[in-house]
Structure 1
Amino acid sequence: MKRTFIASLIALAATSFNLSASEMTVNAQADSKAQAQHNLVRESGFKQTEKQLATLKAELVKQRQALQAANDKLAAQFSTNEDELARLEESLRLETGSLGEVFGVVRQNAKELESELKYSVTGAGDQTHTQVVEEIVAATKLPSMPQLTGLWKALEEQIKASGELAQTQIQLVDGEGKQRAESVARLGSFGLIGEQGYLNWNGAKQTATAYQKQPEQGPVVTGLDELRSGSIQNLVVDPSRGVMLEQLALSPTLMDRLQAGGVVGKIILVLLLIGLIIAVVRGVSLSIARQKIRRQLKTPTQPGDNPLGRVLAVYSKEKKQSVEALELRLLEAVVDEQTGLEKGLSMLKLLAALAPMLGLLGTVTGMIETFQVITQFGNGDPKVMAGGISMALVTTVLGLIAAMPLLLAHNILSSQAESIRHILEKQGIGLVAEQAEKEMDAKVTTLGNAA
């Protein structure tokens, strides 16, 4: 039974294997037919694309040939034109002769005149030949006789305008930026003169503005009648046509330089002022004391309210004491007077020493500010660094300027106080010597009577 069952199973498996192989063969044949059909479709597409590309290539080759033919034609035309241009230029050169040089000179003078009319103050008035000058400058051919005549008249008009004092109307821009018509005087080609003095003329905008700073005894429009009459002998004129007046506005005043010193510069000035006040007060006090001492020397028996008088008063009060005691009392009085005489001199010396130190502080501060600016903006523009450098230099100058008069005042006042002290010491020593002589005479007399 077992063998029969096993044989049946083997037969059944063989039958299933044969059926699967048949199905796989059928499926493979179907896939092969489908792949062959797909390849035929793709091959047809490739052939169609090849035909299109061949057609496009033929068209591009045709266009290239057409462009090459056009290029050859243009090159031939260019060569022909160059030959024709060279022939015409040679013909023009032969026909014009020296007129070409004349045309160059005329155009050069016309350009210079045009620049003069645009930017010079002579262009502030009405110009009747400006259009002719512009036509000559823009011309590409020889100027005509009317144009040459107009250029000659324009030059004549310019020469005449540069040597006359004339009234004209301009647009003046005030400090608020508003324009108004104003009658001004034109001083030849040097400048415009208004009510404020010289005016800065802007030829591009045809407007004028007042300079920030006018020269001393500069002219004004109301005072030009005297110039016309010949009563004015001297007149301030800027021959550079405004350049020097602009530089005058840039030159700093004393107040501008003091402002550049910053806070440190102001402190130095305050110290200088305090020191000068102390020096003046002590100088007046010592001068009065010297005068009183001179008068006191003439009347030593009548002590007054002065240093020497107070020393003499101490002598009158203490002359009954011994010589040693009297000497100490007089020395004490001299020391008290010396303290009063030298009052304020130590402060003056301190201020004289402090001023240059503050100047050095301002120098270091200014250099620190300069390096900060260089770090932020670089060192390409010197104007950016000018503030810190100006502060550094101005504070140094202020410190030295403050120190020198204070040191001089301290030296002078110390010498005066020392001179007065010497007088007091000399008088005190004289009084002590006189008292010692009296005691010596008294002892000699006593000894003589005893003998």
Structure 2
Amino acid sequence: MKWTPVVSMLALSLTAFTASANTELVGTAKTHAIEQAQHDRSRESVFKLTEKELTELRAKLNAEKSSIEKENDQLIQTFSENEEKLARLEEQLRLETGSLGEVFGVVRQTAKELEAELENSVTGVDAQTEKNVVAEITAATRLPSMAQLNGLWKALEEQIQASGQVTQSTVRFIDGDGQVVEKPVARIGAMGLVDESGYVKWDGARSETRSYVKQPSQVPTLAAAQQLSSGESVAMIVDPSRGVLLEQLALTPELSDRLEAGGVVGKIILGLLAIGLIIALVRGASLIVTRQKIQAQLKNPQQPQDNPLGRVLAVYQQGKEHTVEALELRLLETIVDEQTSLERGLSMLKLLAALAPMLGLLGTVTGMIETFQVITQFGNGDPKVMAGGISMALVTTVLGLIAAMPLLLAHNVLSSQAETIRNILEKQGIGLVAAQAENDCVVKPAVERAA
């Protein structure tokens, strides 16, 4: 029973605390509600202000849109008007220009041809002052101006005058060691440049010169050009192709180059030709001398000399006492000996004539074998690597034929000469035998009648 007052007091205290807490919560909630209401009013005012600005911005944009649409309509109308005006002006330009388009085509074509001419012409040394004007006309896409037309005319006139002039200048020269030096040269019209040793090659792109590999005979020099410019007459060889023939001259092989291409087989063929020609010359000279001696002996048959016919006559005089048969055999023996002497060396000449083309064929086969070996190693893409073997094949064939023809001709001529001399000897021998037989026929009846 003692705890009842205590509990009652605790209950009253708890009730009072609860009421106080509720009062504080209510106050806090009201405060928050007031703050929320103020925040909402602030946001509503901001929204209203933003809506007003957006409305004003919309109205402004609509106004700008209307202005742009109006301006666009004006531009479209202006564009259409300009197109019509441009079409009228183009038609008017076409009518007013007339044939100037064709004239421009002719002018441009002439400028292109002149530009190509000036690119590598030796007049670039000192006579191409209007080259830039020509390049402008070539690259132009519209009608040339009067200044350009005058420049083209001056460029043509300058080239015409330069083609008949001999002038001297100093140019850059590249020697054999690749060194660049300044060197005096003379320009002979539009055909070439010469220095103290002959023609020099002009490089228009680099404005440099260099020597040609080969020079023609009677090549003009700087001194000859100076004489020509002073009015003196000078004999010289000029290149009307402006360097093309001089370039080809360097590519043209000489006789020594062709013989070198024949290799060992070619040298052997040439050796055989030399030996055959020596034999032919010696035997030809011997037969000519023998023929002259025989002709002289025919005029004086009573006195045998040192020649084939003289030796036949000597055998006849020594064998008059023998019978006709014995004398005939003696004379035949002497004629055979003389024939052997006359035909000495001709068999060798014939052998060399037959051997030369065979060696040429050997060189042909050897050259083709070498060509196929090169093809095996390097392929057939570059003809230059096969040129050596092909040159050997062709050159040896040509050398073989060249050697065979004169040797065969010499053998035929010398054989004919020897045959002619042999016929003379045989004819004279037969005549001597016939005379001896006639003498025997006359002597025998006289002896018989005397007996």
TM-score (norm 1): 0.69
| Gaps in structure 1 of 5+ consecutive residues | 1-83
Alignment of 1:367-386 (within 5 A): 367-386=368-387
Corresponding letter in the other structure for 1:261: G
For the residues of structure 2 that align with 1:151 and 1:439, how far apart are their CA atoms?
111
Is 1:274 aligned to residue 275 of structure 2? yes
1:189 match: 190
For the residues of structure 1 that align with 2:227 and 2:169, how far apart are their CA atoms?
18
Identify if the C-alpha distance between structure 1 residues 149 and 424 changes in structure 2 by more than 3 Å, giving closer, same or farther: closer
Tell me, yes or no, if the aligned pair for 2:219 and 2:236 is still in contact at 8 Å: yes
Stretch moving more, 102-111 or 223-232: 102-111
Q: In the TM superposition, what is the alpha-carbon distance from 1:446 to its structure 2 partner?
A: 2.1
Identify if the C-alpha distance between structure 1 residues 145 and 318 changes in structure 2 by more than 3 Å, giving closer, same or farther: closer
Aligned length: 364
For the residues of structure 1 that align with 2:110 and 2:299, how far apart are their CA atoms?
92
1:79 match: none
Corresponding letter in the other structure for 2:433: V
Is 1:406 aligned to residue 442 of structure 2? no
Q: In the TM superposition, what is the alpha-carbon distance from 1:382 to its structure 2 partner?
A: 2.6
SS at match of 1:224: helix
Stretch moving more, 299-308 or 385-394: 385-394
For the residues of structure 2 that align with 1:384 and 1:262, how far apart are their CA atoms?
16
For the residues of structure 1 that align with 2:341 and 2:281, how far apart are their CA atoms?
16
2:359 match: 358
Q: In the TM superposition, what is the alpha-carbon distance from 1:357 to its structure 2 partner?
A: 0.9
Identify if the C-alpha distance between structure 1 residues 243 and 334 changes in structure 2 by more than 3 Å, giving closer, same or farther: same
Tell me, yes or no, if the aligned pair for 1:116 and 1:123 is still in contact at 8 Å: no
SS at match of 1:185: strand
2:444 match: 443
Post-superposition, which runs of at least 4 consecutive aligned residues in structure 1 deviate over 4 A? 97-118, 126-160
Corresponding letter in the other structure for 2:428: Q
SS at match of 1:388: helix
Post-superposition CA distance 1:248-297 (Å, at most 9, x none):
22122222222222221221111111111111111111111111111111
Q: In the TM superposition, what is the alpha-carbon distance from 1:397 to its structure 2 partner?
A: 1.5
Corresponding letter in the other structure for 1:334: I
SS at match of 2:253: coil
Q: In the TM superposition, what is the alpha-carbon distance from 1:355 to its structure 2 partner?
A: 0.9
SS at match of 1:192: strand
Q: In the TM superposition, what is the alpha-carbon distance from 1:125 to its structure 2 partner?
A: 3.2
Residue identity (%): 68
Tell me, yes or no, if the aligned pair for 2:127 and 2:158 is still in contact at 8 Å: no
For the residues of structure 2 that align with 1:448 and 1:149, how far apart are their CA atoms?
128
Corresponding letter in the other structure for 1:293: I
For the residues of structure 2 that align with 1:113 and 1:423, how far apart are their CA atoms?
79
Identify if the C-alpha distance between structure 1 residues 328 and 157 changes in structure 2 by more than 3 Å, giving closer, same or farther: closer
Tell me, yes or no, if the aligned pair for 2:186 and 2:222 is still in contact at 8 Å: yes
2:22 match: none
Alignment of 1:313-332 (within 5 A): 313-332=314-333
Post-superposition CA distance 1:3-42 (Å, at most 9, x none):
xxxxxxxxxxxxxxxxxxxxxxxxxxxxxxxxxxxxxxxx
Q: In the TM superposition, what is the alpha-carbon distance from 1:109 to its structure 2 partner?
A: 7.6
TM-score (norm 2): 0.69
SS at match of 2:281: helix
SS at match of 2:206: coil
Post-superposition CA distance 1:345-400 (Å, at most 9, x none):
00011011111111111111222222222222222333332222222222112111
Q: In the TM superposition, what is the alpha-carbon distance from 1:417 to its structure 2 partner?
A: 0.8
Stretch moving more, 397-406 or 103-112: 103-112
2:312 match: 311
Post-superposition CA distance 1:307-357 (Å, at most 9, x none):
111112222222222222222111111111111100000001101111111
Identify if the C-alpha distance between structure 1 residues 116 and 426 changes in structure 2 by more than 3 Å, giving closer, same or farther: closer
1:347 match: 348
1:427 match: 428
| Gaps in structure 2 of 5+ consecutive residues | 1-78
Tell me, yes or no, if the aligned pair for 2:346 and 2:415 is still in contact at 8 Å: yes
Query: What CA RMSD, in Å, does the superposition of the two structures yield over aligned residues?
Result: 3.6
Identify if the C-alpha distance between structure 1 residues 157 and 322 changes in structure 2 by more than 3 Å, giving closer, same or farther: closer
Identify if the C-alpha distance between structure 1 residues 159 and 438 changes in structure 2 by more than 3 Å, giving closer, same or farther: closer
2:284 match: 283
Alignment of 1:229-240 (within 5 A): 229-232=230-233, 236-240=237-241
Stretch moving more, 282-291 or 149-158: 149-158
Corresponding letter in the other structure for 1:266: K
For the residues of structure 1 that align with 2:117 and 2:410, how far apart are their CA atoms?
60
Identify if the C-alpha distance between structure 1 residues 428 and 249 changes in structure 2 by more than 3 Å, giving closer, same or farther: same
1:34 match: none
1:120 match: 121
SS at match of 1:177: coil
